[in-house]
Structure 1
């Protein structure tokens, strides 16, 4: 039997378009991450996952809306298989870091009889749930829930891969790629591996922003960026029909991208038929999202306890907690009861802080306009929204809600500094290798710590030894094989990132590499 020669293999590989290869590799790696998180997290260990699971199973059976009264926070009634209805009883460990996941009674695959269940997500937009709920029509019991998680992760990985691909397509691509490495935190991957539409709005908002920036950056050669134009339209359409605040995130992503480019470049977009078609798609999708919000009264499902706190007090308190919420941008797992290791939070604070300071210091001023808008939005939106609802449902804001702003903000920072020289000295290469290595270790530490929390609990005394003894709870396939697999995949991603930064392909033709903003000089931007 003859094996293909190395030259023949290289020829076949070279036939694969570079963009297809980059997208495929990104999607596979991201899908592995989300799948591993799907398996590592005990069922219903993500905030409100039971409510979203019931909603997904109901929508998959044609129940887009359930039955309910008219009072604030009243959960809707739907009919789902009994094993789906029983998911509310699985989170016995919620809010208690010393209680392991073995307290969960589990689910029986034979319990498929139609049962009434309640869900606080009953009147949410059905688009996400229609896709994620499909495995519950084929499988039953715990395998069905894990399959629903994996499908959610694959869906999110598609948009996240399109985001990473766009970062690699800029003529000056290295800083945007660095921003991607910083923005995809453990929290993002954790959410993507769960049944919760929060993850989908995070990745679609990021895809809209960076792909629109790429299109604007190459507005005079759009024939080579048709895929990215389609990504903008599809991502925007999905984002507009995800959650109650998704239309706000969509508006911010679009406006922030437009602010980073001259008006004359923005106006050139209207001459492209595909752009007009995707704009029409966005308009129709946004209209449907607005109609759904108004007719289904989505905001009425928000749970909470009425408070006597005044809106002014709520505004000030929420603003004061701005940096407390920041832990959720990196690693605030479970029912907000498991924060990542302190060293991980400190490391990401350095990465994010360095990126943000670099962006705010860059010139000309237009390069940082989108970044400034998003950072102001990140500071102002939480207290404003919390002040509006505090009297009716109390304090409900969580840091993860703002991730659809935080990720585009970090990408905007990377785009703002993309024309700055990327250091390539031997020292810079060693420094980058160490930084990537520490990031790989940080990701893995968060993953392992989450498994420890559910396997043996977290106490004042270190108990890692118990994990190698007899953990009270184990995920499918075992905690150690999952952790080692996660480390291997993360290391592979780190190697690919390093190679892209220092051994990547030369800038693609017809992409500007010397002048910031298409066909503009710094002097024309009024520093």
Structure 2
């Protein structure tokens, strides 16, 4: 029996395009679960993400990231076996550790902190020969030592700026690996368009900026995202787990590392797992846990959580927060924080330096629009069972900062920053993308043209903020417009600001081209294959 009506033919083409591929133009081969493994896309994404993160390593002056001196001192101490140091255990009390002299004096590099008109030229030289061990104070003394054990190793074998930059490089490469695994998971989903799009939106300048610093905040963000999206890939393919072994391993490693990153990381881990289960159901999760590899990775995460809980109890990690006591009551602090919810959204996009360098308004406008589009898409996703996870995470984003800040308001006052919640906000965006995965993929010339403009806009705002931050450091932000003065800088980063900007632009353009070709492939299914598919469906 044959059907010749144009309406039927169009319906058949639509069904084929939405059933066998997530690409706007059908590929020559039908995609199968696991046919495009996560590992392949991870390897493609890693060089691009690593390049962007490493450029931030050298573009940001030493100790220009919030709390970076404390984290640097902690890393150097842990690298020498001193996991916790000496402290009275009182809230806000600094921990005393033993580190090389040049590390103990690293705080002097931040002479420009919170002074937008001051350049890093004020920083004294770092004496690479000052490697004798002395006492130093750090507010990160009782933080979980896992991250610091990895990034602190260069301080054991070398000194001076080179050691600190290498510590940043190690942190950037580790974070880039997890972020690449996130992109790889998004791209290997059966319907990859919207998960990948949400993943791209979640990689804000703030994420890359933190990647290039000595701060576990970055590792917390990327391990949360890697855990969630790889778990989604696994649950989506639970009937054939052999095809997603790589993602199962990524889930185990990401979960174990995330659990031991920061004090709140266990909460993000739990929310990431709950979010994936809400989307795909409990049955796939039980099937994964019953498999040998799935059980092994579950055990690995369990051991990571146990180690994290043991450290939290013994080291009392929440007691090292610093600030100024306040007479504000907890209930008033809760209401105030709730009222300021959207004020902290800028921290998801980019507040560079020690909160002294906000992004230009155009940069915020671009990302706020992208955030809104992804979140609204998640709230209106179909099927309806995909929506609850978006509501759960959205409510968590709004309610957790007031709850957490209210607990410590009278001990240390208002200390909240947007980046503290960045891991959860990224999780919200990724969950929206997965919830939208059943939506039709944008197709046709208009969609391709629009996507080109969006990619160009993303590259543009990334570069704009990057140059703006370099302007702040090379000549300082003055009351008058002084872009041209950058060509006679007071301070220059390694490789010069011009060289870093060109490298950043090239890396962004390369990433945009690769991603656009993946989402909008030029290869089309031949007319013969379409006709054959129509005939097969008609006969069926």
Identify which of 476, 479, 488 aligns with 2:497. Answer: 479
- How many residues were matched structurally? 491
Question: Where do 1:361-380 residues align within 5 Å?
Answer: 361-380=380-399
**For 2:134 and 2:270, how far apart are their aligned partners in 1?**
40
Question: Is residue 329 of structure 2 the alignment partner of residue 302 of structure 1?
Answer: no
Output aligned runs, 1:63-462, within 5 Å. 63-462=82-481
Kept in 1: contact 2:38–2:181 (CA 8 A)? no
Instruction: Find the aligned partners of 2:523 and 2:182 in 1 and give their Cα distance.
Output: 19
Rate the CA distance shift 1:358–1:328 in 2: closer, same or farther, 3 A.
Answer: same
Secondary structure in 2 matching 1:94? coil
What do the CA deviations read for 1:151-175 (whole angstroms, capped 9, x no partner)?
0000101110110000001110011
Q: Distance in 2 between matches of 1:17 and 1:257?
A: 21
Question: Structure 2-normalised TM-score?
Answer: 0.89
The structure number with the bigger radius of gyration is: 2
CA contact (8 A) 1:261 1:366 kept: no
Q: Kindly indicate whether structure 1 or structure 2 has the higher relative contact order, using CA contacts under 8 Å at least 6 residues apart.
A: 2
Instruction: Report the counterpart of residue 28 of structure 2 in structure 1.
Output: none
Distance in 2 (alpha carbons) for counterparts of 1:231 and 1:108: 41
Residues 32 and 489, structure 1, Cα contact 8 Å, conserved in 2: yes
Match of 2:483 in 1: 464
> How big is the shift at 1:421?
1.1
Alignment counterpart, residue 50 of structure 1, candidates 58, 69, 77 = 69
Q: Please give the alpha-carbon distance, in whole angstroms, between the structure 2 residues aligned to 1:343 and 1:149.
A: 29
Rounded to whole Å, the distance in 2 between the matches of 1:504 and 1:396 is 50
Residue 456 of structure 1 deviates from its aligned partner by: 0.6
Tell me if the contact between 2:289 and 2:298 (Cα under 8 Å) persists in the aligned partners.
no
- For the 8 Å contact 2:101–2:133, the answer to whether it is kept is yes
1:115 partner SS: strand
Q: Deviations over 1:244-285 (max 9, x none)?
A: 111111111111111111232232223211111111111111
8 Å Cα contact 1:241/1:285 also seen in 2? yes
User: Taking structure 1 as reference, are residues 409 and 505 closer, same or farther at Cα in structure 2, changes over 3 Å only?
Assistant: farther
Distance in 1, Cα, partners of 2:99 & 2:65: 20
* Alpha-carbon contact 2:40-2:184 (below 8 Å) kept: no
TM-fit CA distance, 1:504: 7.4
TM-score, with normalisation over the residues of structure 1?
0.91
Look up the SS of the partner of 1:348 in the other structure. Answer: helix
Q: Does the residue aligned with 1:462 lie in a helix, a strand or coil?
A: coil
Deviations 1:364-398 (A, max 9, x none): 22212222211111001000000111011111111
Provide the C-alpha distance between the structure 1 equivalents of 2:516 and 2:385, rounded to a whole number of angstroms: 29
Secondary structure at the residue paired with 1:118?
A: strand
3-state DSSP class of the match of 1:305?
Answer: coil
Per the alignment, do residues 19 and 361 of structure 1 end up closer, same or farther by CA in structure 2, a change over 3 Å counting?
Answer: closer
- Measured in 2, the distance between the counterparts of 1:506 and 1:264 equals 36
Structure 2: where are the runs of 5+ without partners? 1-34, 526-540
**Would you say the 8 A contact 1:256–1:369 is kept in 2?**
no
- Secondary structure at the residue paired with 1:50? helix
Stretches of structure 1 that go unaligned for 5 or more consecutive residues are: 1-15, 508-527
Structure 1 residues 61 and 209, CA, compared in 2 at 3 Å: closer, same or farther? same
1:69, distance to aligned residue in structure 2 (A): 1.5
Aligned residues of 1:90 and 1:105 also touching (Cα < 8 A): yes
**CA 17–182 in structure 1, closer or farther in 2 if over 3 Å, else same:** closer
Q: Deviations over 1:124-163 (max 9, x none)?
A: 1100000000111122100111100010000101110110
1-side partners of 2:431 and 2:344: how far apart? 21
Q: For each residue in 1:424-456, what CA deviation from the matched residue of structure 2 results, as whole angstroms up to 9, or x when unmatched?
A: 211111110000001001111111111110111
Give the distance between the partners of 1:419 and 1:293, measured in 2 at CA: 41
Q: Which deviates the most, 365-374 or 234-243?
A: 365-374
Aligned Cα root-mean-square deviation (Å): 1.5
Q: In 1, are the aligned partners of 2:38 and 2:185 still within 8 Å (CA)?
A: no
CA contact (8 A) 1:368 1:412 kept: no
* Per-residue Cα deviation, 1:478-514 (whole angstroms, up to 9, x for no partner): 000000100010010011111011117899xxxxxxx
Give the alignment partner of residue 492 of structure 1, picking from 510, 516, 536: 510
- Residues 39 and 184, structure 2, Cα contact 8 Å, conserved in 1: no
